[in-house]
Structure 1
Amino acid sequence: MTILKKTPVILFLFSVFLAPLVWYPGLSDFSNLPQRVFLETTGILLALVWLANQSSNNALPIQRLPFFTWPLLACIAWGLFTSIFALNPYETWKVGRQWLVAIVFFFLVPQLTVSSAQRRQVLIALFAAAFLVAILGISQHLFGLSIIPQLAPPAANFANKNMAVHFIVLLFPIGTFLFLTAKKDTTAWATSLMLSQIVVYLIYTQTRAGWLAVTCQFLLFVILRKATGLNLSLLWSRQKKWAMLTSLLVVLTMMNIGPAGFTPGYEAVGLRAASIASIQGNHVRFAIWTDTLSLIQQHPLLGVGLGNLKIHFPSVQKESLFLHTQYLKDAHNDYLQIWAELGLVGLTLFACLIGSLGIFLVRTHRKCTGNLTKTLELQTMGLSLTGIGINAMFCFPLERMIPVFTIMVLLGLLASLAREENPGTPIHIPKRFPAYAAVVLLVFAPIMVVDNLKGIAADHFFLKTCVATVQENWPEVIASGSKSLHYQPDDVTPHAYIGPAYLAQDNYREALPHLLTMLEKAPYHYITLLNTGTAYSGLHDYQKAQGYFAKAVQVAPIAGAAHGQLGKTYWQLKEYPKAILEFNEAIRLDPRKKSIYLYNLGRVERELGRVDAAITAFEEAIAADNTFAQPHAELAMIYSSSKYDHTRAGYHGRIFQKISRTSSDSGQ
């Protein structure tokens, strides 16, 4: 094979190996976004190189794809179609784009891997990447390696350890296959030790869904071996047995090593594993699933649109209402999320995909009978897909680039294996097609590059927006948020930061357009509803403010702040009975801030002429927070003008001045 003919294969192996290791500093989404950009770029380049290689042929031979390709394409097409009725089409495109990138590799893999040796190279590249991910995660856990940011350590370069485990689950059976079929002792030893580090990292993550998936993979492998009569003794050697025993000892030893040195870990692992079936340990997931089912009941047939679960979820939160400020993006169950976002139509298409894939695996397995290596290759790739399917019951691998990409690569390898067992006649496309396709790709490539550069710039400035918000640097929030919107105007999220920044500067008129734009695409966003009501209150449009605060209460009825703001608006509208009800509800729901609610309640009672009730409310506000100055000022006014008790009036006046002076000094 000439170097030109080898170029597509080399580029493909390069993509497969590096994609899971990609990350980029200075971004809010420093893992998934760079991985998608990398795969988009290499995918287009790979397609161009492959087409260039075919240009010398009289016709372009396209290897036939398996029958599960059609439901796969139908799933993706329907997901993208839902953008027509989705509240936020940008979110649909953001997820759908990942699927489109992955499907490019699915089409290319069977064209580039025409033999067992080439498939093995791809599996080795994936497994080597998984090993490096594991080593990075172990280094983070044991040595505190902090080069790469982590949201839930040890996350390697995936930001969250659960995301890294998706990749590990997919490659664990592949490592087993590579170990069992290794022909050289040195290769067997290396593979076994690499596999041991992957297991150690999986243990360190404490990810129960990953443990369950890998355990099921192992049990299914044992069952398949018995059911199909695989004679694995033909693959064993003395060196492999020693390698496996050594790796087992490495795992057992490293289980008991932590950041502080030797730390017995058997009991911790056992307790964590036992909690898999614990209702108490999974109550958050159960709550999210229950509310997701409520959303499904509201949109059963078509769903809410791909990527739009997070847009609608706040409107149905009841069991998981305690998470109302966290803005959940995922259902932590991909099957429920598919149903919620794509409806019964999408779920049916996905079920057809799973069913057709199962039939394909069974038929191909029958054809591989008699070839131990190919049978094992087929089984382990099937187990990889089964494992991620189990993991998807508790997490969201289908929402992330690398798991979707790896799944598509494995599906492409399965298609290659099936074709090798049952060669068919390729589809010969006229010679001019590669030229036309290359022209289309060459036109599309610059557009894609520019769009990706804009996306990275937008995400960079969004990170700066988030950091400035935490620092309460409001001018920087506005500046960085505006730059983020300049590069990615379809993403409304920065508006949710710019609006409050204007509010913090009492610039209500400038805040409103940003807040209302956010609510157009995210109408149930609790904080934005509160902020919009606050902006209208600042502009003295209390009727509109009342509407937004009431909707905030509807979205999060357990939020004391929403009831408190609604109470203030009712007070401004002179609807005193409603104001009193809302303040009392706020006091009940949020006792930590009851001093401010009691103070507002006292002001309402004073306006109603119920002086004794007002005094009681102000005194309770002082009892709740003795550093709160305003209730003293109100009591001083009441005692001097209504009760004519100048002694108490003077006392509260002096306390008010003292607290106000102390607050002023501390502020200086």
Structure 2
Amino acid sequence: MNLSKEKVLETAEKLAPGFRQVRFGLLLFFTLTMPLVIYLGNTEYGYTKTIYTFVYISFLALVWLAEIIFNDDKEISLTGLSIPIGLLAFSGLLSLINAPSKGVVLQSLGLLVYFYLIYLLIVNTIETKREANYLLITLITSGFGATIYGLLQYLGVVRGARGFSGGAGSIISVMGNQNYLAGFLSYIFIPAFAIILISRSKSIKTYLVLSLGLFFFLLFPIGARGAWLSLVFASLVFGAGLLYYKPIDNLRKLWLTLLVIVLVLFLAYIFASAPGPLNSVLSYSAQEDGEASWGIFTPVVRPLIKQLVEKGGARVEDWYIGLEMLKNHPLVGIGLGNYKVKFLEYRGRFLTSERGQGFGEFIPRGAQAHNEYVQFTAELGLIGLIAIITSLVILMMNVFSRIRSSKQWASRILGLALAGGVVGYLIHSAVSFPAHLPASSFALVTFLGVINSGAFGKPEYRVKLSGITRYLVIALAFAFLISVTVFAYRDWRANVLMGEGKKQIQYGNYYVAKERLQKSRSLDFQPRQTYYFLGVTERELGNERRAIDYFEKSLGQFEPYNLYLQLGTLYQSQGQLDKAEESLRVFLSLGAEESLKTKAKYFLSVIAIQKNQVEKAEKLLAEVLSSDPKFERGIILQGDIANFRGNEAKAREKWQKALDVINDKLSRVNNRLSGEIKLEDLAELRSQKERLTRHKKQITNKLEGL
């Protein structure tokens, strides 16, 4: 049957409302699943959520594109918040100038674009207050599911961070970290409270009151001060808004609802706060001697005081490191997303400065600054800082102007709650990094999208594409969405393969590890950690030259502490003594673990001997053995120096001492290997045994040769 263009368009117009309903249903499904989705084959929970977002939102955007294609009159609302997004994107592009890892900048910009796309989808899909409530209840339900999972981990019913032992330390839920969960719950708490007030459904009220009780209960054992700070400020904004706008003239109508909420929260507090009946069983947060109790505010006040009185907290150091980056690249920053890449390099500079003398404790991982404003300023420079401040001003003006324009009391209450959630997120950003957490960022985008949707009046800045521009934009959008989806899938596969490669390294299966890692590198949009682990693999296989190549490629992409130690020892082995010494000196400036510092100083002493600087070597060895008296390689080298000087008695004494240490360590390693051990520890134990056996043979030969 032949259909004319007019009939096709007429049919499409009739189906247009159906298109939007399909889009709304798909949006609800994404809202429910995105914060909950995890895949244990990935290296991080947040990474899985990111890839899921790329793929699902691409599909949802393609559905939207299809609707636009069939409906010539379809308008798109961009809203005033498109201006801040444009400013931030422009700053991000400028930051490419100094970025050591330009691929990381592009990945970060891709995420910014996709969360903006989620925002536009919400704005252009939600048309009524009812739909807005459904979307928010779905988001709260996602938080409810995450809370139930975290609660079961707390009770030891399901496996947590510490197995089945239970307690606060086991809580990670589907977020990968208890603090991430606490932050997410603090954002959705006040919106859930508001929906209870405005909903007419008793079943919804009951469900949300139960959810609030569980959220409140779990926040206590987690004890995240940033999340409590977020919740306190969200509550203050909501309360102040109620007093100012007076959306409910007679609160007595809601007295029973408010009484039930207060009762549920009080019961949650009684059961969750020390010394409550439940956590006395689980040994949670018993008050230490000499610590003041601050009642319900203890989880907020006590850690804040502790942070203030303790000199040189790790987070303060993170902020100073961001300042060092800004001083070095003041205009356009070090590159969006590159704080984590160059963290250790700038930490080394900071620790050697006068201001850094009071710091230097080991920081296991410097991925974030624990302050989004500091981190983004370091990454985007002063231009980025201006963009951030401008964006925040526009954002707050937008939020409160939309609330003010709402005439219905229910809309104002909901709007004030969403404003509280937004402010809570922004406050939390000063002590944490919610913008780097997909679920937390999604909560913010949802709040802003709902406020700017049809539920709060007519959306602003509506545009209608026409003519050649319409087809060009559709074609470019289609190509972009498909390309991102393909890259996301390839990147996901690369991450899975990298994780498998890391496991094989731990098991000691280096050929299998190499195969997995090489496949990962070929699929990855921006290989970072893969280069480092390929270097480790090649070194274990005896290919030192290839290992150096991979480690050098890791510079500017992924720079853990061990990278400089690996390079230093490899350069030393290859006879490149100056480069070896430089790498080891850099390593020592980074504030690494003491055991690794000891190892680095030992290799510096070896280099000193190779350069005929024996006295310098002896000084370094004295530092090594002062730090670790049983560092057998240092003792052996002392014996070698004594033998070189013709002091055979001292040489014998040192070598015999080293032999005793080695025999003791070999005995311990053999005992561990003969018992039950984790597979991930197997390769390390075998490597220790091989190294100790080799050193034992060398010393035995030395002693026999005297």
For the residue of structure 1 that corresponds to 2:74, the secondary structure is strand
Deviations 1:153-186 (A, max 9, x none): 4121111122222321221111011111111223
Q: What is the aligned-residue RMSD (CA, Å)?
A: 3.5
Hey, what's the Cα distance between the residues in 1 that align with 2:405 and 2:529?
52
2:638–2:654 Cα contact (<8 Å) kept = yes
Name the counterpart of 1:349. 387
Q: Aligned AA for 1:25?
A: L
**Residue 227 (structure 1) shift:** 3.7
Match of 2:41 in 1: 26
Q: Which amino acid aligns with 2:503?
A: V
Residue 653 of structure 1 corresponds to none
What's the CA shift for 1:242?
5.0
Structure-1 separation of matches of 2:160 and 2:305: 36
Q: Give the conservation status (yes or no) of the 8 Å contact 2:58–2:485.
A: no
> Amino acid of the residue matched to residue 361 of structure 2?
F
Equivalence for 1:580: 618
Trace 1:252-331 onto structure 2 (pairs within 5 A).
Answer: 252-255=269-272, 256=276, 261=281, 267=287, 272-273=299-300, 274-279=302-307, 283-317=313-347, 318=351, 321-323=360-362, 326-331=364-369
Q: Is the 8 A contact 1:142 1:258 kept in 2?
A: no
2:557 to 515, 521, 545: 521
User: How far did residue 330 of structure 1 move?
Assistant: 0.6
Question: 1:173 and 2:190 equivalent?
Answer: yes
Give matches, 1:255-654, under 5 Å. 255=272, 256=276, 261=281, 267=287, 272-273=299-300, 274-279=302-307, 283-317=313-347, 318=351, 321-323=360-362, 326-368=364-406, 371-416=408-453, 420=457, 426-430=462-466, 435-488=471-524, 490-519=526-555, 521-522=557-558, 525-556=560-591, 559-588=597-626, 590-591=627-628, 593-609=630-646, 627=664
TM superposition shift of 1:349: 0.5
Alpha-carbon distance in 2 for matches of 1:244, 1:353: 36
SS at match of 1:521: coil
Equivalent residues in 2 for 1:20-99, closer than 5 Å: 20-29=35-44, 31-66=45-80, 68-99=81-112
User: Which range moved further: 106-115 or 49-58?
Assistant: 49-58
- Distance verdict in 2 for CA 1:2–1:399, change over 3 Å: closer
Report the Cα offset of residue 431 of structure 1. Answer: 6.2
Q: Percent identity?
A: 18
Structure 1 residue 235 displacement after superposition: 7.8
How far is the alpha carbon of 1:485 from its aligned partner? Answer: 1.2
Instruction: Return the alpha-carbon distance in structure 1 between the equivalents of residues 344 and 545 of structure 2.
Output: 27
How much has 1:543 moved relative to structure 2? 4.1
For structure 1, the 5+ residue unaligned runs are 630-655, 664-668
Name which of structure 1's ranges 607-616 and 449-458 shifts more when overlaid on structure 2: 607-616
- Contact preservation (8 Å) 2:362, 2:591: no
Instruction: Verify the 8 A CA contact 1:148 1:156 in the aligned structure 2.
Output: no
Query: What are the Cα deviations for residues 473-514 of structure 1, in whole angstroms up to 9, with x where unaligned?
Result: 333332222222122163131221222233234332332221
Kindly indicate whether residue 118 of structure 2 is the aligned counterpart of residue 105 of structure 1: yes
Aligned residues: 631
Cα distance change on mapping 1:51 and 1:236 into 2, 3 Å: farther
Q: Taking structure 1 as reference, are residues 384 and 622 closer, same or farther at Cα in structure 2, changes over 3 Å only?
A: same
Q: Distance in 1 between matches of 2:243 and 2:77?
A: 34
Q: Name 1:201's counterpart in structure 2.
A: 218
State the TM-score, normalizing by the size of structure 1: 0.85
Q: Indicate which of 104, 109, 129 corresponds to 1:116.
A: 129
Counterpart AA for 1:416: S
Counterpart selection for 1:188 from 193, 205, 208: 205
Name the SS for the 1:24 alignment partner: coil
Return the alpha-carbon distance in structure 1 between the equivalents of residues 74 and 621 of structure 2.
Answer: 74
Question: Any conservation in 2 of the 1:153–1:160 contact (CA below 8 Å)?
Answer: no
After superposition, the Cα gap between the structure-2 partners of 1:432 and 1:133, relative to the gap in structure 1 and judged at 3 Å, is: farther
**Unpaired segments of 5 or more residues in structure 2?**
1-15, 289-295, 667-692, 701-706
Separation in structure 1 between the aligned mates of residue 573 and residue 524 of structure 2, nearest angstrom:
30
SS at match of 1:494: helix
- CA shift for structure 1 position 264: 7.4
Please report how far the alpha carbon of residue 384 of structure 1 lies from its aligned counterpart in structure 2 after TM superposition. 0.6
CA separation of 1:471 and 1:579: change in aligned 2, threshold 3 A: same
Q: CA deviation at 1:74?
A: 1.0
In structure 2, relative to structure 1, the CA distance for the partners of 1:11 and 1:437 (3 Å cut) is: farther
Tell me the CA shift for residue 357 of structure 1. 1.7
Evaluate the alpha carbon distance shift between residue 613 and residue 338 of structure 1 in structure 2; reply closer, same or farther with a 3 A threshold.
farther
Give me the whole-angstrom Cα distance separating, in 2, the residues matched to 1:548 and 1:135.
48
CA distance in 1, matches of 2:198, 2:607: 72
Aligned-pair distance for 1:221? 2.7
What one-letter code is carried by the residue in structure 2 that aligns with 1:518? S
Secondary structure of the residue aligned to 2:42 is coil
Question: Alignment partner of 2:31: what SS?
Answer: helix
The alpha-carbon distance between structure 1 residues 463 and 413, as it changes in their structure 2 partners (threshold 3 A), is: same
- Provide the C-alpha distance between the structure 2 equivalents of 1:335 and 1:202, rounded to a whole number of angstroms: 25
Deviations 1:512-565 (A, max 9, x none): 22122212535x643122212222333344344333323323444862222211
Aligned 8 A contact 1:171 1:384 in 2? yes
1:110-145: CA deviation from partner (whole Å, max 9, x where unpaired): 211223222222212211111111111111211331
Question: Is the Cα–Cα contact under 8 Å of residues 102 and 408 in structure 1 kept in the other structure?
Answer: yes
Distance 1:26 1:628, change over 3 A: closer
Amino acid at match of 1:43: I
